[in-house]
Structure 1
Amino acid sequence: MNISTPMLVTFLIYIFGMILIGFIAWRSTNNFDDYILGGRSLGSLVTALSAGASDMSGWLLMGLPGAIFIAGISESWIAIGLALGAWLNWKLVAGRLRVQTEANDNALTLPDYFTSRFADNSRLLRIISALVILVFFTIYCASGIVAGARLFESTFGMDYATALWAGAAATIIYTFVGGFLAVSWTDTIQAALMFFALILTPVVVLFTVGGFGDALEVIKQKSIENIDMFKGLNIVAIISLLGWGLGYFGQPHILARFMAADSHHTIVNARRIGMTWMILCLLGTVSVGFFGIAYFADNPQLAAAVNDNSERIFIELAQILFNPWIAGILMSAILAAVMSTLSCQLLVCSSAITEDLYKAFLRKGASQRELVWVGRLMVLLVALVAIAMAADPNNRVLGLVSYAWAGFGAAFGPVVILSLFWSRMTRNGALVGMVIGAVTVVVWKQFEWLDLYEIIPGFLFATLGIVVVSLMGKAPSRDVVERFNKAEQHFRDIPAAKLQQAE
């Protein structure tokens, strides 16, 4: 494909702009706390859009529209499940996690929080949770690199191997340099860009095919099942698609945004902003895939690339329908979706290695400067491993994401929720739940029993494991329970005197 000069210029301006933000953030990164959580200084707008952008990776503009283009509107059950899960995560988890992580030794990472919350002197929780992060996030990072490679392959006519490196380079640079602040600031810009692309593109597609009514008729003529929400789905399949929403409670890169908010009061406005952004973006991405069916049915001579790989539908529509300058912005939106999530994942992997393994076990007295530089080197290391995993050109973005999403949701979700609401939960309960959740996902994925998405049995078995083991074991120490209660008191803004009177 011969890329036009306007598209190339627009694309490059965006990439260099993100790298520039990384270098600006460098100047505000004074210690490891700044590098990992930005000094817990995020306001409601940045918290909301950064959480949204870090969640909505390349699958939003590639994987999900492609699935709907192939299977019809029935694939939108995923979007419904995600919206419900995200709202519950904001409502139930966000504020409490912000307060509890600060109350528990100012925990910077999930393994840090688990270790302090349950007073785990053995540090088994730290090791197991750090390993879960490294395993599943490396798979998740690979999905982002595949999406970026597809974009560069389609846009610049590169071969897949070259596109892998080109797509990952800019993200690695600004994450390496600027850490959490660079990631959060760029996420905010990227979220705005994604919003613009997902509102504009389906509107133009609809206009091109003659409006909603004409588009619907063409989609029906192609296959009446395209408009059937229950096409080929039984109750297990619908539960599996809705089950994606369970994943939110255990995603470290999203939970890190809650931990970094400047206070738990910020979360209320952030939830409103974040959910509005998310619902509109999901409607946009579903519309791209759905109305894309009508467009390519009317223009079969242009459909070869999409028929070959449905995940290229947004790319093809952007390049066919828009002025090259606008197409360049829309192409940048795909890269924004990839970069926003990949950068968060690289940073969480880096923090797991640096804070939870290197500092905890190898260099307890490491200086802040040393930790920042080790964190930067770990960003490079994880990125190289993910690039190697993404080398197979037959990889599909949505398939890689679904596996990693289930792994985190099942391993961490029940532990996070119960740790925030149940003071009786024990260290052993958390450990057993985490292991059961992760192992269930891996085993269930191999055998695909009942055709049920692996996150559902993983989440259920992990929750049961936590409850049973916690109730069977010795109750947590008085110090652990008091710390939990004081954090809950702070979250509810209950004055200390009133709490003592109630007791």
Structure 2
Amino acid sequence: MNSSVMASVTTFAVYLLLMVVIGVWVFRRTVNLSDYVLGGRQLNSWVAGLSANASDFSAWLLLGLPGAIYLSGLGEAWIAVGLAVGFAASWYLLAGRLRVFTERATDARSGGESNSLTLSSYLENRFDDRGGTLRAVSAVLILVFYLFYVASGLVAAGGLFEQVFGVSGNVAILTGVTVVVVYTFFGGFLAVSFTDVIQAAMMWCALLVVPVVAIVAVSGDPDRGAGGDLGSLLGGVSGLDGSWAPADALVPVVVISGLAWGLGYFGQPHILARFMGIRSPGDVRAAGVVSVGWAVSAMALALVVALAGVAYFDPPLDEQTAEYVFPQLIQALMNPWVAGLLLAAILAAVMSTADSQLLVASAALTEDGYRTFVNREASPRALVWISRAAVVLVAAVAAGIALSGNNTIMELVGYAWAGFGAGFGPVILLSLYWRRMNRVGALAGMITGGFVAVAWDLLDERVLDTGLYAMVPAVALSFLAILVANRLGRASQQMEQDFDRVDAEYRGLNAVG
């Protein structure tokens, strides 16, 4: 075992031990489903903000974005621009209102304040849907798209395990899912959130250190940077020989598709769960500043990583290894023990995304499935253990998806991101601002957005050939479906009273803040 692998193994073992300690500590505090899936709404500003970052960005930020820019050029950087705007907008437009509404909306089944634990239960209570149709449809969307989302994290973890520890891809994926399931099974939402803070710090430091070292190395060695044509970032790598392709960074469809990624933030359940779990609406503003500041700076550093990779590698990395340009730079530039530390940090950070997603998916099975349609009288302790079993089930199916194909991280994330963004984004946004929105409009928006997100790629590939990201037509048609279908239903008096009460409370809190 060489020194770099030894360092990675040692660092990762220490990290896992810390995760287990936090998980056991929180395990004793987890007595009901609210504790397990939403942390009892106890997150302070720093934990909520940084946890939202770590649960969202890790695999995509550390591997997908630098690799996509390195492979395809600066056209992919429009994704980062769109995400920065969308992330800030979600904190400003959604976080405070969603935190109040999920707690205050009247329970559609039993009356009284609902304390909704999932997006599905929030939609049921917001639109007074006593038949459970909204909850069932939204839970199905969450499960379907999270299978692909968790699979993307496992693909990333598998690739890194393969690079760092030298094991086969399939063994790496199985190892990664086992580790994620272990600490998620015991720790629940609070443990995941606390470890996310550590991960966010590790990710940001790694993104800062590596490009700085690469730039110093290139500037100090003219021969090293001779083949790294930074102008080629307007295009990207193509072909098996690693040659550079023409520019497409300013093609309108590339710009629109990239910016459209930002719309996805309005419908990502694992990020919206941080809004719902924050300690009080008064903590939202500070949490947003922390979270958006981290996100914007981290994405800028990820862009610099891609620039550093273009300048450093001569000849360029091929298509098979370009997605791992960040760990490739670490291995090429760093002392073996430092490299081991950074690689283990990336590996741990990549895995930290899957835990949040597994929790949301397990909550959909438990809260929106078992307790709603099977056993409403289940004890709090029984629901916690059912949720833990659901974590194992969802992880096993996602591992099967990860093992079944050669999808890249960006492809898997893009598919799930569009599904959530279009299926939930327009519905959630309008539910917080439109007093007369009703159940029919919400249902039409979810079904239309989710269906178009799934069907668009197939339609575009075989018929339209536009190259447009599915988020654009899916979100547009979801909004249209809501506006048209809303005419077929009506908001109940209870819904309008809830809206007025929540709106008044939120405005009052905002005025005081």
Q: TM-score, normalised by structure 1?
A: 0.93
Question: Which one of the candidate residues 243, 257, 279 is aligned to 2:296?
Answer: 279
Q: Which amino acid aligns with 1:93?
A: L
Q: Is 1:160–2:169 an aligned residue pair?
A: yes
Q: Give the Cα–Cα distance (whole angstroms) in 1 for the partners of residues 204 and 29 of structure 2.
A: 28
Aligned partners of 2:9 and 2:344 also within 8 Å: no
In structure 1, stretches of 5+ residues that fail to align are: 496-503
Per-residue deviation, 1:394:
2.0
SS in 2 for 1:476: coil
Please give the per-residue CA displacement for 1:377-409, whole angstroms capped at 9, x wherever unaligned: 000000000001100362211100000000000
Alignment check: 8 A CA contact 2:49 2:288 kept: yes
Q: Which amino acid aligns with 1:245?
A: G
Compute the displacement of 1:446 (Å): 1.0
2:116 to 94, 107, 110: 107
Displacement of 1:478:
1.2
Q: What SS does structure 1 have at the residue aligned with 2:324?
A: helix
Q: Which residue of 448, 458, 476 corresponds with 2:474?
A: 458
Taking a change above 3 Å as real, the CA distance of residues 384 and 236 of structure 1, as seen in their structure-2 partners, is same
Q: Tell me what 1:386 maps to.
A: 398
Corresponding position of 1:270: 287
Structure 2: tracts of 5 or more residues without a match? 106-113, 237-244
1:246 is aligned to: 263
The answer to whether structure 1 residue 293 and structure 2 residue 310 are counterparts is yes
Which residue is 1:116 aligned to?
A: 125
Shift of 1:311: 1.2
Q: Which residue number in structure 2 is paired with residue 172 of structure 1?
A: 181
3-state SS in 2 of match to 1:257: helix
Deviates more, 1:68-77 or 1:427-436: 68-77
Q: Deviations over 1:18-69 (max 9, x none)?
A: 2221111111211111001000010000000001111103121111111111
Corresponding residue number in structure 1 for 2:501: 486
Q: Matches of 2:509 and 2:39 in 1, distance apart?
A: 28
- Aligned equivalent of 1:500: none
Alignment match, 1:128: 137
The answer to whether the 8 Å contact 1:63/1:397 transfers is yes
SS, match of residue 223 in structure 1: helix
In 2, Cα distance between the equivalents of 1:137 and 1:7? 29
Q: Name the amino acid aligned to 2:248.
A: K
Is 1:139 aligned with 2:148? yes
Matches within 5 A, 1:312-391: 312-391=324-403
After superposing the two structures, state which structure 1 stretch, 222-231 or 162-171, moved more. Answer: 222-231
Give me the whole-angstrom Cα distance separating, in 2, the residues matched to 1:361 and 1:464: 31
How many residue pairs are counted as aligned between the two chains? 490
**Deviation of residue 74 (structure 1)?**
2.6
| Residues 11/68 of structure 1: CA separation in 2 closer, same or farther (3 Å cut) | same
Displacement of 1:287 after TM fit?
1.0
What is the aligned counterpart of 2:431 among 419, 429, 449?
419
SS in 2 for 1:351: helix
The residue type paired with residue 132 of structure 1 is L
Q: CA deviation at 1:216?
A: 8.5
Q: 1:191 aligns with which of 192, 200, 214?
A: 200
- Runs (4+) off by over 6 Å: 211-217, 227-230
SS at match of 1:14: helix
CA positional deviation for 1:217:
7.5
1:93 aligned partner: 94
> Please, which moves more after superposition, 435-444 or 316-325?
316-325
| Native 8 Å contact 2:48 2:275 kept in 1 | yes
SS at match of 1:57: helix
**1:258 CA drift (Å):** 0.2
- Give 2:211's match in structure 1, choosing from 175, 198, 202: 202
The correspondence for 1:231, drawn from 228, 245, 248, is 248
How high is the sequence identity, in percent, across the aligned residues?
Answer: 46
Distance 1:480 1:225, change over 3 A: closer
RMSD: 2.2
The farther-off stretch of 71-80 and 346-355 is: 71-80
Letter in 1 for 2:506: F
The structural deviation recorded for 1:215 is: 9.1
CA distance in structure 1 between the aligned counterparts of 2:508 and 2:80, rounded to whole angstroms: 34
**Is the 1:411–1:437 contact (alpha carbons within 8 Å) kept by the matching residues of 2?**
yes
Query: Which letter maps to 1:327?
Result: A
Offset of residue 72 of structure 1: 2.3
Evaluate the alpha carbon distance shift between residue 224 and residue 77 of structure 1 in structure 2; reply closer, same or farther with a 3 A threshold. Answer: closer
Q: Which residue of 2 aligns with 1:151?
A: 160
Judge which range, 5-14 or 51-60, deviates more.
5-14
Please say if residues 7 and 341 of structure 2, whose CA atoms lie closer than 8 Å, have aligned partners that are also in contact: no
Q: Tell me the alpha carbon deviations over residues 206-265 of structure 1, each in whole angstroms, 9 at most, x when there is no partner.
A: 111117999987543773745999635421221001100000000000000000001111
Deviates more, 1:108-117 or 1:443-452: 443-452
- 1:309 equivalent to 2:318? Answer no
Question: TM-score, length-normalised on structure 2?
Answer: 0.91
Q: Judging changes above 3 Å, is the alpha-carbon distance between structure 1 residues 418 and 214 closer, same or farther for their aligned structure 2 residues?
A: farther
CA distance in 2, matches of 1:412, 1:229: 37
- Give the Å deviation of 1:477: 1.2
Does the CA contact (< 8 Å) of 1:249 and 1:414 recur in 2? yes
